[in-house]
Structure 1
Amino acid sequence: MIVAEATFGRRVAVRRDEILERLARDGRVEVGELARALGVTEETIRRDLRALEDRRLLRRAHGGAISLVADETLAHPPSDGLEAAAAAVAGLISDGDAVYLGAGRGCEAVAVLLARRRGISLVVGSAPVARAAMLANPAVQLHTIGGTVQADGALSGMWAREQLAGLVMDFSVVEAEGLAPDGQLLASDPERAGVQAAAIAAARTVVVLAGPDSLKGSGHAKFAQLAEVDHIVTGPGLPGDDLDRLREADVDVIFTDSGPES
């Protein structure tokens, strides 16, 4: 009996160590993926996550868990929706890719996940995004564009646009703050719109982070037509007319949580 209990305890310890290794590498783990990879039930994984959270080794989030380091690198703790959106974006990107990340809390969360990946080169257009990446992994390959620093840390202006004009990126990830009736994505101001347009022109694949409320936002400066976008990551609650416009433009709509199928 004692031998059996010791063997069971070792299996649990090995499994939980594997969970922590995956978390350190990816910044987030999913219950379903862990259950399949480790050959146990989802309920067993949930028990493991609760036990590890009790030891303050992670924080449980919707459908999985996030590294406490990821929490600490962001100015504001990310919501479950933000974490899920960041994980969806990170899932599109392969090790070794060159990725531009714009400004915003969503891009900060993506930076934390990508900084832990192997061989990814990050170019960022925001001081807070650069900080998040460096705190997540001080050895990350990180470059910042030049330019004027805005109040929220975003980089803008002629220098920023010229830097981007000389680059070829595998992915550009930017955030939208509105969708115009003519299908143009909107930024909060012309300076930011100019940088985001340059980032899109520099990329082979364009990903836009836009919550359902963001597409009804107060942005007034156009930076891209929907036809220039490959993927939009959003959450449940997107109005039907917005969804129709996205699909008519042949944009791949990726819903986090329980949104409509794309």
Structure 2
Amino acid sequence: MLTSQRRTLISARLSSDGQILAGELANELNLSEDTIRRDLRDMAAAGLLKRVHGGALPITPPLPDFEARQTISTDIKKRLGRKAAELVRAGQLVFIDGGTTNAEIGRALPREMKLTIATHSPAIAALLEKHRADVILIGGSLYKHSMVATGAAALAAIGTLRPDIFFLGATAIHPTHGLSTGDYEEAAIKRAIAARSAETMALLTEEKFNAVSPHHIAVVDDMAGLIVPAGMAKDVTAPYRDKGVRIIEA
């Protein structure tokens, strides 16, 4: 098999299976594992995939900026936000991560509900101006791409909280490699909030599944539940159900 044919096959397998295991593919094609690893290395250098231990994963495409993301899949994001808001109870301390999908949680929460909402997103805090909820706005260095606070000051403030529920945002999720995001500092903030929270729920649109971003947030087993669009293929959500994670369709 020619090099170009192997790499076309690798790209097709990444699209269909969501991962490549170098050893398995080498056995299937009756080639040395070194040959497959060389292909994966060269394709990673060309930006075609992400190498991981033992194989490769698809690369998530760069996200548009915050303002542009507000116009993408708005109906689906609203459904996810409403479903998340239904899980909130009066009296809770709820931490809402940044992002345009999570902003819909703030819009969907009943204005008269008495609770405390913490967020490191100024945009989400502003949505809660007319709500009865108390709002804790975490400050720090502003990561403009996601419009959230990061850095040492944010971590210190998060360390004083014990949220009942954390609504997490991520750019990718994979059954083996967990949830991930594109920025190192933002990933650290997300890990810190999850570690302090009684339970963590992730709101995820369909294109984020079976992909990986550069910076790890959490393993799938750490999730109390995933809030996903209704009608997703069962073979996409099955690996998460098999791990005992609650799948909530919206």
Q: Deviations 1:186-233 (Å, cap 9, x if unpaired)?
A: 112111111111111111121101111122556221111111110100
**More off after superposition, 193-202 vs 145-154:** 145-154
For the structure 1 residues 125 and 143, does the alpha-carbon distance in structure 2 shift closer, same or farther, using more than 3 Å as the test?
Answer: same
Aligned to 2:77: 82
Give 1:234 shift: 0.7
Aligned to 1:150: 143
CA distance in structure 2 between the partners assigned to 1:153 and 1:203 by the alignment: 22
CA distance in structure 2 between the partners assigned to 1:239 and 1:76 by the alignment: 25
**More off after superposition, 106-115 vs 193-202:** 106-115
Identity of aligned residues (%): 18
Superposition misfits of 4+ residues, deviation over 4 angstroms: 74-78
Give 1:159 shift: 1.6
Give 1:85 shift: 0.7
State yes or no: 1:247 paired with 2:241: yes
Report the secondary structure of 2:95's partner residue.
Answer: strand
Aligned to 2:126: 131
Q: Check the 8 A contact 2:95/2:119 in 1, yes or no.
A: yes
Give 1:88 shift: 0.7
TM (normalized to structure 1)? 0.63
Report the secondary structure of 2:194's partner residue.
Answer: helix
CA distance in structure 2 between the partners assigned to 1:199 and 1:233 by the alignment: 18
Question: Could you tell me which of 91, 95, 99 is aligned with 2:94?
Answer: 99
Report the secondary structure of 1:198's partner residue.
Answer: helix
**RMSD of aligned C-alpha atoms?**
2.2
Greater RCO, CA 8 A, separation 6+: 2
Aligned to 1:234: 228
CA distance in structure 1 between the partners assigned to 2:77 and 2:172 by the alignment: 17
**Structure in which a larger fraction of residues adopt helix:** 1
TM (normalized to structure 2)? 0.66
Aligned to 1:23: none
Give 1:183 shift: 3.5
Question: Could you tell me which of 167, 170, 194 is aligned with 2:188?
Answer: 194
For the structure 1 residues 77 and 237, does the alpha-carbon distance in structure 2 shift closer, same or farther, using more than 3 Å as the test?
Answer: closer
Aligned length: 181
For the structure 1 residues 223 and 117, does the alpha-carbon distance in structure 2 shift closer, same or farther, using more than 3 Å as the test?
Answer: farther
For the structure 1 residues 90 and 98, does the alpha-carbon distance in structure 2 shift closer, same or farther, using more than 3 Å as the test?
Answer: same
Q: Check the 8 A contact 2:225/2:245 in 1, yes or no.
A: yes
Amino acid at match of 1:147: G
State yes or no: 1:116 paired with 2:108: no
Q: Check the 8 A contact 1:178/1:220 in 2, yes or no.
A: no
CA distance in structure 2 between the partners assigned to 1:237 and 1:86 by the alignment: 17
For the structure 1 residues 145 and 115, does the alpha-carbon distance in structure 2 shift closer, same or farther, using more than 3 Å as the test?
Answer: farther
State yes or no: 1:182 paired with 2:203: no
Structure 1 stretches of 5 or more lacking a match? 1-73, 257-262
